[in-house]
Amino acid sequence: MRALLALLTAALLAALLAACGSGTTTSDAPDGSGDTGTTPAAAAPAATRTAPTATRTAPTATTGGCAKATPANAKGRTEPKPTAKDALPPNRKAIVTLKTSCGPIVIQLSQKQNPKTAANFAYLVRKGFYDGLTFHRVIQTFVIQGGDPNGDGQGGPGYTVVEPPPKNTQYTRGVVAMAKTGSDPAGASGSQFFIVTAPDAGLPADYAVAGRVIGGDQTVTTIAGVQTDANDMPTAPVVIDKATLTVR
């Protein structure tokens, strides 16, 4: 019995000594975190989007291919809403050329399939609305987005056109569609547009389609690869120097 008590006492003392010698060490890390052997993962920055959140890979920034450019001071610019006289002829080709600081992008408008949306895009081009505006939102494997006179994703032309797209609409690379807020109805558009850079953006059929890129795919790739900040805004402005419309 005495031997058993001696063994138990020895075990208890050993346990207490071990506990006293296992204190934690606090590191002098800049963020004041303790040295636990692991690094906390940084939380992804919250972003206000005009299209649903997409799964993204980290962008590979490019440093060349774009000229230094200064955007226009167009904050708060608006236009009257287009009327029936601004419609495009359905059986002719309507081509928009965006001369950007990274190169040209050529878009064929889809006025036969999406007459209201294509006419609105062409109307704004004719008005010179896009001249000097930026691509304010760039996600390499999702979309490049521009057409906001405020340059921050919050602006528009002062009106809304609504043309819901067909339910089977797919947003594949090169599709040019109109951005909207989550509270807008399907097919709502103002002046902000996006060009899909992914093979398939995986978006629901909520975004009015204006057309498709038929020239300047390399420019789209260049813009998609520029360096951006935590809000997906290019750190150096990507500017639409001039937008022109040709109907033939």
pLDDT digits (tens, 9 = 90+) for 143-185: 999 999 999 999 999 999 999 999 999 999 999 999 999 999 9
Q: What is the pLDDT of residue 6?
A: 44
Residues 3-30 have a mean pLDDT of: 37
Q: What are phi and psi of 239, to 5 degrees?
A: -110, 140
pTM across the whole model:
0.76
Please say if the pLDDT value at position 51 is more than 70: no
Residues 129-150 have a mean pLDDT of: 98
On whether the CB atoms of residues 227 and 235 are closer than 8 A, the answer is yes
Q: What is the pLDDT of residue 25?
A: 33
Q: How confident is the model at residue 13 (pLDDT cuts 50, 70, 90)?
A: very low
Please say if the pLDDT value at position 64 is more than 70: no
In sequence order, which residues have a C-beta less than 8 Å from that of residue 139 and are 6 or more positions away? Answer: 54, 56, 59, 197, 224, 228, 232
Residues 91-98 have a mean pLDDT of: 97
Stronger pLDDT, 47 or 158, i.e. the higher one? 158
On whether the CB atoms of residues 101 and 162 are closer than 8 A, the answer is no
Q: What is the pLDDT of residue 68?
A: 96
Q: Where are the beta strands (DSSP E) in 159-239?
A: 161-162, 175-178, 188-189, 193-196, 209-215
Residues 27-46 have a mean pLDDT of: 30
Q: Tokens in use for 228?
A: 């951006």
Q: What is the pLDDT of residue 65?
A: 87
Candidates 2.40.100.10, 2.40.50.140, 1.10.238.10, 2.60.40.10; CATH matching 95-247: 2.40.100.10
Residues 118-137 have a mean pLDDT of: 98
